[in-house]
């Protein structure tokens, strides 16, 4: 069974490729899945906001409860709630493992963390949802560095085209440091976060 198929279907439903493998499928069939995928045109303000929320959830692979808690924290921050929401999600450990090029997808990043291959400031951490602060250092644990996935990562196979400006990455040594909190313009996700704010504020 092709494990990428459900993600392909989800990518088409959300209008964004969720993994590198999905890109070629998505480019070939960029309309929603199903018999009437090409013909679907009816929409509403609610549907538009809901889709945007689902896109955000999918890109970070978080549950509804996790996204809601992130939103509740963002509301209490100064400045724009949408930007605070994205910064909150982007400082999750699994998201930063992905941005640093230590994993190929958000799903692999989560697995790498839960399997205790990652340290933060020298201590193993197995919670993908852990929030990091500027100055925190992520590294692949010493005993895991010779494993095939991390040799591939160290060679730069998963390195993004543009390194996130809020990260100082040393791929050869499988480490990354969070330099500062991410700005919305620097975060490579597809989302109109203001619509997510409106969805939760209705």
Q: Which CATH number does the domain housing residue 112 bear?
A: 3.10.290.10
Q: Is the pLDDT confidence value at 149 over 70?
A: yes
8 within a domain of the structure (yes/no): no
* The total number of structural domains that make up the chain: 1
115 within a domain of the structure (yes/no): yes
pLDDT on residue 163:
87
Between 166 and 26, whose confidence is greater?
166
112 within a domain of the structure (yes/no): yes
Distance CA 107, CA 96 (A): 12
* Residue-wise pLDDT tens digits, 62-116: 999 999 999 999 999 999 999 999 999 999 999 999 999 999 999 999 999 999 9
Domain of 121 in residue numbering reads as 92-180
Q: Give one DSSP letter per residue of 39-73, joined into a string.
A: T-----HHHHHHHHHHHHHHHHT--HHHHHHHHHH
pTM: 0.83
């Amino acid at each position: 069974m092709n494990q990428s198929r459900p993600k392909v279907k989800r990518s088409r439903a959300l209008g964004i490729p969720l993994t590198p493998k999905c890109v070629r499928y998505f480019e070939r069939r960029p309309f929603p899945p199903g018999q009437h995928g090409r013909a679907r045109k009816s929409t509403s303000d609610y549907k538009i906001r809901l889709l945007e929320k689902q896109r955000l959830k999918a890109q970070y692979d978080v549950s509804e409860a996790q996204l809601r808690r992130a939103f509740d924290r963002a509301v209490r921050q100064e400045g724009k709630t949408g930007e605070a929401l994205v910064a909150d999600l982007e400082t999750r450990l699994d998201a930063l493992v992905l941005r640093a090029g230590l994993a190929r997808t958000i799903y692999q990043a989560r697995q790498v963390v839960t399997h205790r291959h990652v340290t933060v400031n020298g201590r193993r951490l197995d919670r993908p949802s852990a929030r990091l602060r500027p100055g925190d250092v992520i590294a692949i644990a010493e005993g895991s560095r010779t494993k095939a996935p991390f040799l591939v990562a160290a060679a730069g196979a998963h390195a993004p085209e543009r390194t996130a400006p809020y990260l100082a990455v040393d791929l050869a040594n499988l480490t990354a440091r969070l330099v500062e909190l991410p700005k919305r313009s620097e975060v490579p996700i597809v989302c109109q976060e203001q619509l997510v704010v409106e969805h939760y504020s209705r």
